[in-house]
Amino acid sequence: MDRDDGLTALDNIVTQFNTYEDFLDSQITTVDLYYLEDETLARQLVELGYRGTGEIVKREDFEARKAAIEIARLAERTQKKTLASAGKELHDNFLKALAMREEDNRNGKVSTVIFIRDKNSHGQEVSGYIDYAHRLKSEDFEAYFNGKKRLLPRTTDMRFSQVTTQLESPSRRNSMHMLFSLTTFPEGRLKHP
């Protein structure tokens, strides 16, 4: 039995029993209690590995693994962040589309690439591709969904382009946003709607 199988067996034991004593009691048979006539002695024999019907687990290992599982459970609970778009009154179609995809991108069910062509505060044309899931992990989207901040590509995004000199034309005055979503299935297949 390798280390991973041992940890899996220990995890099963730890999650099944609340205390180490409950685990020891599960290993004691009625015949053991009949002949030993002492529950404490029967527990000690199981703990030492002389009696019992199953796995030998030391008290320290049981308690350490129980604590580790509890810490992991608490960490997972605190990581489950509420959605930045939750409860927001969104009027912009682009923000509505981002809100629809937010939870799936946070969970890794969908990967969304956003293409944006817009102008920055200096009047320069900026365009690029943004990995939505990465951006959700690296920054707070509350400001975007509240309308206090505009989503623009950064030099750290997938592809970034900034045009410093340009001619102003009517076709370039409006921002352009495009979303591409990739859904990952459990079998590893991708679906592009």
Q: pTM (2 decimals)? A: 0.48
Is residue 13 situated within a structural domain? yes
Is residue 17 situated within a structural domain? yes
Residue-wise pLDDT tens digits, 129-180: 888 888 988 888 888 888 888 888 888 887 766 665 444 554 444 556 666 6
> Among positive and negative, which fits the CA dihedral 72, 74, 79, 82?
positive
Is residue 88 situated within a structural domain? no
Conformation bin of residue 153: beta by default, left when phi > 0, alpha when psi is -120 to 50: beta
Is residue 159 situated within a structural domain? yes
Is residue 84 situated within a structural domain? no
Q: How many domains does the chain have?
A: 2
Is residue 71 situated within a structural domain? yes
Amino acid type, 145: F
Is residue 59 situated within a structural domain? yes
For residue 13, give its domain range: 3-79
